[in-house]
Structure 1
Amino acid sequence: FGYVSSSHVSRGMTVTFKLGPVSEGQNERHGGDKLFGKRLLQAGRHIMSHKSWMKTVPTENCDVLMTFPDTTDDHTLLWLLNHIRLGIPELIIQIRHHKHTRMYAFFVTATYENLLRGAEEMGLQKAVKPEFGGGSRSFSCEEDYIYENIESELCFFTSQERQSIIKYWLDNLRAKHGEALHNIHFLEGQPIIPELRARGVIQQVFPLHEQRILGQLTKSWVQAVCEKQPLDDICDYFGVKIAMYFAWLGFYTTSMLYPAVIGFVLWMLTESDQTSRDICCVVFALFNVVWATLFLERWKRRGAELAYKWGTLDTPAESLEEPRPQFRGVKRCSPVTGCEEFYYPPWRTRVFRWLVSFPVCILCLCFVFLAMLVCFELQEFVMGIKELPRVARFIPKIMLAITVTACDEVYRKIACWLNDMENYRLQSAYEKNLIIKMVLFQFVNSYLSLFYIGFYLKDMERLKEVRVCFTPLSKTTPQKHESSKRHAFFLNLVFFSFRRESKTALVLFEDGEGEHARAARALSRARSLSLSLSLLYAPC
């Protein structure tokens, strides 16, 4: 097999190599160049390892790929292989070795019959034939005849469903009492695969792409212009969470057309006097109050429709969440279950949060505020020099925009480190506290200068110039493109309504179970002092 990262590996693809060793006769004929040849071969190995994934031939029957570092020994591979085969006999595993990177990988798949049993264990929702009532319900092997396409092994399970079943099995491979691998000692019932990934024994576990379906999505989704998104195909291939997100993104983009059109009309009707501008600003603010309310209600309905269609509307939440693999503590006997578990006193987390995390966050915010003041003082100094060209007045603003972008990346690393040190037991608690840190800093870092100029200084011209400098940089950062839309959204809010205070809302979609409900709650919480959108801005 050949790969650079999970994005370079496609489902059912592997690599063959035709690089033979140098023969002894050749070494005798070129004895003087032996040392040079070795060095050249070593250098060539790195080049080949980088380009080897480009030359591929199909490998059948592979859904999930598990890779290991090049330092992995045979004992580790055999130990894990033995546990998987004994603990999950439903899986079919092929071991392959990459000659140039010297890495091993497990190619994992399962038979159709075993996938059916796995779907029943997971409670996978499948469509029911119309003659049996239609809709969807949890899969049952005893009543498999009632489900659509059950006769076809190729059509019944999507690639995402096959991979989800295999991942479910791998994540539920648990250790027995006293089991250990080298210096890693497992607790009884502890998941093995997540722990080995956290310890670096397993490098990656990821599903493989299917080139045929990717080609279809490229034509119907990526290359299609002004056409509806193939949400059902996206759901079948990427899963409900990704499909729900793109459904929200498309719904949000379409809904933004209304304030864009109304704003453009008001802009055309606005005259040069201040009274006319104030009237249009109030009208546009009232329109946005109505638009935000209707947007929320329409998305709640649309989200519920998609959740029902995809069989996740009534999906119950997991009653028991597994501890994070990175969670560390002392071993103890659980007073509830009587089994061994890792225990970390909650007071230690609270002490670190209040005595370390909170002061560090305050210092970071103070640094942002001081950097903003320094840039403003530099701006005043530049403005006082009459001989400088007009372009020079943008230099302090560009410096401020670059500082904001750099601080975002630095603080992201600081927030992750603080969250790791707080040592949360559950993944949900870890993500919740990380989001709080990131949102707090990014909001202050990105919008403090804008609110300061708009509401305190009330300098319209300076606000225009800062927006011009901020918007391009926010779209060139390594963050997601959707974050750039949110940045531009807030920039326009400040620019057009720094004189008016009212209420509006911004949808921030959250991944996870109950996507439509979470989006609705996020919309109701995300209230702002500003109201208006840009007259001409409509994200695409």
Structure 2
Amino acid sequence: PGPCPACPLDKLFGKRLLQAGRYLVSHKAWMKTVPTENCDVLMTFPDTTDDHTLLWLLNHIRVGIPELIVQVRHHRHTRAYAFFVTATYESLLRGADELGLRKAVKAEFGGGTRGFSCEEDFIYENVESELRFFTSQERQSIIRFWLQNLRAKQGEALHNVRFLEDQPIIPELAARGIIQQVFPVHEQRILNRLMKSWVQAVCENQPLDEICDYFGVKIAMYFAWLGFYTSAMVYPAVFGSVLYTFTEADQTSRDVSCVVFALFNVVWSTLFLEEWKRRGAELAYKWGTLDSPGEAVEEPRPQFRGVRRISPVTRAEEFYYPPWKRLLFQLLVSLPLCLTCLACVFLLMLGCFQLQELVLSVKGLPRLARFLPKVVLALLVSASAEGYKKLAIWLNDMENYRLESAYEKHLIIKVVLFQFVNSYLSLFYIGFYLKDMERLKEMLA
């Protein structure tokens, strides 16, 4: 229902919901902040969404996931609808049990962490406190788990979208553009604390536990690795500086120094990997993900398309895309286009080298003009990388992979191959084909 024209906007939304209203159409809404007392997850819709779609989805959520509390709001200025989704504490406890969320156990019951169980909820730390037991990230993970597992029944359809039996509804609607965005909302109080203890802190350890509690294990593990890697780089930096200081000017001393530094890097990289394995295992155990089971069955991508058939394994209806069609597209379209892009990069690089030769042959040019070919090459590298990334995504979409893991794997192969050639082909060309060490030094400078 839309707002009454005579009603002030703050009366319609409430003080906190008014703050969340500005995120209804923002593509970077997850970067913003709203309090989470009345909303944990926000689901937005295009301004062209009709009432039938909203009521159909709202009814399915309330019937299929009775644990959720859903409020429908309409933004007067953007004319966009949104679902403000949250859940009660008791429902979240049942969701944590269903999800197998690992929580800290009280010391008198053995300590450590274990999967949450409603039958033994008294053994977990802070379970008596609704505000302290779940972090905002855990609340949102439980709600997201419920939303992602809202499944269709046999023969259900919404407009021109026909669902398979037991197919997830919300990912499919998001892939079709019927749902615009589904994202968690931030909590300003915690963000301010992280801003002071993490972003603005200089030469202090990262608050990894707080990062994990708020952003989740994956984000915390990434920054843990980044901090560990940055600290480990001190050793080769110091050793290399000392070695450079005591290396004499003759060629023999330089060659010996290069060999010694290379051997040091081999030993350092081996020790770094082994130490990170230990550190990563410690953090995984501390955060309760060391022995977490992997997903038994990976859901098909919502964007996966094919012909409907009865699965010979599960005897359920599913989409099927013949592998030979994907292979044919890879051989006749993907591979030629990728090779053409790599050839274009090579030709552009040669053109920049010819431009550099032309500039150097002209006398009387300003000194800054000598850097023009390098600037042109850098701009071409950046522009071609952006263009190829869009092409790689389009090719991957056309290859129509069933699983998200396969989709990401092939996308990484395409992008990394091009990025490597795009960034380093000029160096290999100068160093191994032209064998011009002076020009190579200029390129690396």
Relative to the length of structure 1, the TM-score reads 0.77
Q: Secondary structure at the match of 1:259?
A: helix
SS in 2 for 1:206: strand
Shift of 1:373: 1.1
Aligned to 1:3: 23
Q: What is the SS of the residue equivalent to 1:108? A: strand
1:379-390 equivalent positions in 2, closer than 5 A = 379-390=356-367
Per the alignment, residue 9 of structure 2 pairs with: none
1:78-123 Cα deviation digits (max 9, x unpaired):
0000000000000001111111110000000000000011011111
2:385 to 408, 431, 435: 408
1:345 aligns with 2:353: no
How many pairs align? 425
Alpha-carbon distance, 1:270 to partner: 2.4
1:335 counterpart letter in structure 2: P
Whether the 8 Å CA contact 1:10–1:211 is kept in 2: the answer is: no
Which one of the candidate residues 73, 87, 95 is aligned to 1:118?
95
Match in the other structure for 1:245: 222
Distance 1:60 1:296, change over 3 A: closer
Residue 218 of structure 1 and its aligned partner are, at CA, apart by 0.4
Q: Distance in 1 between matches of 2:177 and 2:164?
A: 18
Superposed, which structure 2 residues align to 1:417-496 within 5 Å? Answer: 417-468=394-445
The counterpart of 2:131, out of the listed 140, 150, 154, is: 154
Q: What's the counterpart of residue 7 of structure 2?
A: none
- Taking the aligned partners of 1:248 and 1:7, their CA distance within structure 2 comes to 29
Q: Give, in whole Å, the separation in 1 of the partners of 2:257 and 2:92.
A: 61
Q: Which amino acid letter does the alignment assign opposite residue 3 of structure 1?
A: Y
Distance 2:31 2:347 in 1: 51
Is 1:356 aligned with 2:324?
no
Q: Specify whether residues 329 and 397 from structure 1 end up closer, same or farther in structure 2 by C-alpha distance, changes over 3 A only.
A: same
TM (norm. structure 2) is 0.93
Letter in 1 for 2:22: G
Query: Is the Cα contact below 8 Å between 2:36 and 2:185 reproduced in 1?
Result: no
What secondary structure sits across from 2:405 in the alignment? helix
Q: What is the 5 A alignment of 1:134-533? A: 134-468=111-445
1:72 partner SS: coil
> Which amino acid counterpart does residue 73 of structure 2 have in structure 1?
R
* Runs of 4+ residues over 3 Å off in structure 1: 4-14
Mapped contact 1:13–1:59 kept (Cα < 8 A): no
Deviations 1:340-380 (A, max 9, x none): 11111111111111221111111111111111111112211
Shift of the alpha carbon at 1:335?
1.4
Q: Cα offset for 1:6?
A: 6.1
Paired residues of 1:404 and 1:446 also in contact (CA < 8 A): yes
Cα root mean square deviation, aligned = 1.6
Secondary structure of residue in 1 paired with 2:127: coil
Q: For 1:113 and 1:97, how far apart are their aligned partners in 2?
A: 29
Shift of 1:59: 7.3
Q: Contact 1:125–1:139 (CA<8 Å) still a contact in 2?
A: yes
Q: One-letter code of the match for 1:196?
A: L
- The whole-number CA distance in structure 1 between the counterparts of 2:22 and 2:28 is 9
5+ long unaligned stretches in structure 1? 15-57, 469-540
Contact 2:36–2:187 (CA<8 Å) still a contact in 1? no
Letter in 2 for 1:299: W
After TM superposition, give the deviation of residue 395 of structure 1 in Å.
1.1
**Which is worse superposed, 392-401 or 458-467?**
458-467
Q: Cα 1:11–1:263, aligned 2, differ >3 Å: closer, same or farther?
A: closer
Instruction: Give CA-to-partner distance per residue, 1:136-185, whole Å, 9 cap, x none.
Output: 11111001111111111111111000000000000000001111111111
1:67 has 2:44 as partner: yes
Residue identity opposite 1:433 in structure 2:
H
Aligned partner of residue 143 in structure 1, secondary structure: helix
* Corresponding residue SS for 1:148: coil
Residues 9 and 209 of structure 1 are in contact (CA less than 8 Å); yes or no, is this contact kept in structure 2? no
2:24, 2:80 within 8 Å by CA — same for their partners in 1? Answer: no
- Distance in 2, matches of 1:73 and 1:184, equals 15
Q: Distance in 1 between matches of 2:32 and 2:410?
A: 39
More divergent stretch after superposition (395-404 vs 195-204): 395-404
Task: Report if the CA contact (8 A) 1:127-1:135 is conserved.
Answer: yes
Q: Which moved more, 1:406-415 or 1:129-138?
A: 129-138
Change beyond 3 A, Cα 1:13–1:278: closer
Task: Give the 3-state SS of the residue equivalent to 2:300 in structure 1.
Answer: coil
| Whole-angstrom CA distance in 1 between matches of 2:37 and 2:209 | 26
The Cα of 1:65 is off from its aligned counterpart by 0.2
Greater RCO between the two (CA within 8 Å, min separation 6)? 1
Which residue identity does 1:2 align to in structure 2?
A: R
Match of 2:66 among 71, 80, 89: 89
1:195-253 Cα distance to aligned partner (Å, 9 max, x none)? 00000000000000000000100010001000000000000000000000000000010
CA contact (8 A) 1:10 1:210 kept: no
Fraction of identical pairs, as percent: 76
Instruction: Give the CA deviation at 1:449.
Output: 0.7
Output the amino acid matched with 1:174.
R
The alpha carbon displacement at 1:9 in A equals 4.5
CA distance in 1: counterparts of 2:32 and 2:384, whole angstroms = 42
Shift in Å, 1:4: 6.6
- For 2:53 and 2:294, how far apart are their aligned partners in 1? 35
